[in-house]
């Protein structure tokens, strides 16, 4: 491994990552601060007890009279030290709310990503292997059809499908449509077998929806990258050596077809973390998306701000990690 230049590339990349994260935080600050209207009025919409005294107190407390750059510094410091303040509506800190929601979203996304990867790699590989065949055309067509679906629409259709007995088939499985497990508060969540089973049961539909929504991307990239590889000379050599088709695929084609997949997976995970909204809303799944939409309804700004930051940072970090992995597994890749 070419160590020196390698380290240099990684250093440069990490510098850019830090820069980009700063940029995201800054953009977020500017958006909130340049929005029309008085922050105090946004915060306390219609409270009859509100008077000038409280107003001045709030101005004092939140440094609202400080110039922009000073507020920016304060904001930066608080963001970086994870002092994200409290939610307006719920009596908990933003960090806790986002943390809990994030863990649920990660669970869902992890589950669906595993499904997507397994299915996608298999379908993609097989389609590439039998390129131009019936399976290839059929799967590509079907996947493009899925790709064109608004995810929320598909979620609704699935909900309908698994909450009724189509054509009177009484053996048709019924799946829960959402709502929650036997939990009163998140903090008092207790993990035991029935709860785990219930969680899994509740996750089947949302995870399937997400998986099918992102399946098209994974499969098509897998397919085209394998097709690229399959035309290389070393595949021909491998065949000439007398290796079986499976061996060629497993040992020669797949490893070389993987790099584009990794970038794609990282990107899709990151986007899904920031954007499983539609599925989470339809299925009432209490992840980041659900929390966000609820916060929008309540105009709960502290949460909204940091949802944006967390979503942005997730994308940047995922990209960074995929870059690093790519450099490790494929030293040919020159990343400028």
Partner 1 sequence: MSSTTAQNDGTAMPPAPQIDKTDPFPTTETDPYRVEATERCGFIVGFWLLLALLADSHIFGLEATHDLSQVWQDGIWIGVSGLGALVSAFVTIRLMSDREPGKPPRHIPAVAGLVISIAMVVVLTLEETRLMMDLFAMDPGVIWSATRPLWLFPLSILGFSLPMISLILARGGDRRDGVLGVLFSCAPIAMLSIPFLGGFDSAETARWFPMIYGVSGFALILSGVKLRSVLQQVTIAHVNKLSSRVFIVTLLLVGSLIWRKLSPDQTLSSSVDVVWVAPLFVNAVLSALVLAVIFNTPSKDRNRSAGFLLSYSALTLSVYLLCFLTLDFVSGTPLLPRTMWFYPLSLAGTSFVMISVTLLASETQRDKIVGILTAAVPCVATTAVAVAAFLFAVPLTASYSVLSGGTALLVYVGFAVAIFACGMIFGTYRTTQWPVVRERLRLLINRTSVVTRQILKNPMGLIGISILIAFITLAFIGPHIAPYEVDMTRDGTFDRLLPHSPEHWMGTDTFGHDIFSELLYGARTSITVGIVAAIISSVLGAAIGLYSGYAGGWKDEVIMRLNDIVLSIPWLVLMIIIAAFMGSIDLLGIILVIGLTGWSGTARLVRAQVLSLRERQYVEKARAIGSGDLHIIRAHILPNAFPLVFANTILTVAISILSEATLSFLGLRPYGVVTWGTMLSYAQSSNAFTIGLHWWIIAPGLCIVLVVLGFTLLGYALDDVMNPKLRKR
Q: Which residues here bind partner 1, judged by CB under 8 A?
A: 16, 19-20, 23-24, 27-28, 31, 34-37, 52, 59, 65, 67-69, 137, 144-145, 147-153, 156-157, 159-160, 227-228, 231, 274-275, 277-278, 281-282, 292-293, 296, 299, 304, 307-308, 311-313, 315-316, 319
Nearer to partner 1, 44 or 183 (CB): 44
What is the smallest separation between the CB atom of 131 and partner 1, expressed in angstroms?
A: 9
Tokens 């309804």 sit on residue: 297
Q: How far is Cα 237 from Cα 111, in angstroms, rounded to an integer?
A: 39
What is the smallest separation between the CB atom of 244 and partner 1, expressed in angstroms?
A: 24
Nearer to partner 1, 122 or 145 (CB): 145
Quick check: 218 and 124 in contact, CB under 8 A?
Answer: yes
Nearer to partner 1, 115 or 227 (CB): 227
What is the smallest separation between the CB atom of 320 and partner 1, expressed in angstroms?
A: 11
Nearer to partner 1, 112 or 225 (CB): 225
What is the smallest separation between the CB atom of 71 and partner 1, expressed in angstroms?
A: 11
| CA-closest candidate to residue 14, choices 333, 327, 329 | 327
What is the smallest separation between the CB atom of 239 and partner 1, expressed in angstroms?
A: 18
Nearer to partner 1, 38 or 188 (CB): 38
Tokens 């709310």 sit on residue: 97
Residues 269, 275, 279, 283, CA torsion sign: positive
What is the smallest separation between the CB atom of 190 and partner 1, expressed in angstroms?
A: 32
Q: How far is Cα 129 from Cα 223, in angstroms, rounded to an integer?
A: 8
Nearer to partner 1, 24 or 108 (CB): 24
Neighbours of 153 (CB within 10 A): 12
Quick check: 321 and 268 in contact, CB under 8 A?
Answer: no
The tokens describing 122, both together, are 């298999």
Residues 237, 241, 242, 248, CA torsion sign: negative
Determine phi and psi for 86, rounding to 5 degrees: -110, 155
């Amino acid at each position: 491994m070419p160590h020196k230049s390698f380290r240099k590339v990684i250093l440069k990349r990490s510098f850019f990552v830090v820069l980009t994260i700063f940029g995201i935080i800054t953009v977020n600050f500017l958006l909130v601060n340049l929005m029309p209207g008085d922050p105090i009025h946004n915060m306390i919409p219609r409270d009859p007890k509100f008077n000038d005294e409280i107003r001045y107190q709030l101005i004092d407390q939140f440094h609202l009279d400080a110039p922009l750059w000073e507020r920016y510094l304060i904001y930066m410091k608080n963001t970086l030290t994870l002092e994200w303040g409290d939610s307006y509506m719920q009596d908990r800190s933003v960090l806790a709310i986002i943390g809990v929601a994030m863990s649920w979203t990660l669970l869902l996304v992890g589950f669906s990503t595993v499904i997507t990867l397994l299915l996608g790699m298999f379908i993609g590989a097989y389609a590439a292997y039998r390129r131009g065949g019936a399976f290839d055309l059929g799967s590509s067509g079907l996947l493009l059809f899925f790709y064109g679906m608004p995810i929320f629409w598909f979620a609704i259709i699935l909900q309908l499908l698994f909450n009724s007995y189509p054509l009177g088939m009484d053996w048709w499985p019924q799946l829960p449509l959402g709502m929650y497990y036997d939990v009163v508060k998140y903090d008092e969540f207790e993990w035991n077998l029935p709860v785990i089973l219930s969680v899994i049961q509740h996750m089947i539909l949302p995870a399937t929806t997400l998986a099918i929504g992102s399946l098209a991307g994974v499969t098509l990239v897998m397919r085209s990258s394998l097709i690229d590889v399959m035309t290389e000379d070393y595949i021909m050599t491998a065949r000439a050596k007398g290796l079986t088709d499976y061996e060629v695929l497993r040992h020669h084609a797949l490893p070389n077809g993987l790099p584009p997949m990794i970038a794609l997976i990282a990107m899709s995970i990151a986007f899904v973390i920031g954007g499983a909204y539609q599925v989470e809303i339809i299925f009432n799944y209490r992840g980041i998306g659900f929390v966000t939409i609820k916060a929008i309804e309540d105009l709960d700004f502290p949460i909204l701000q940091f949802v944006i930051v967390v979503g942005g940072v997730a994308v940047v970090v995922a990209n960074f990690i995929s870059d690093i992995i790519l450099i490790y597994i494929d030293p040919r890749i020159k990343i400028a």
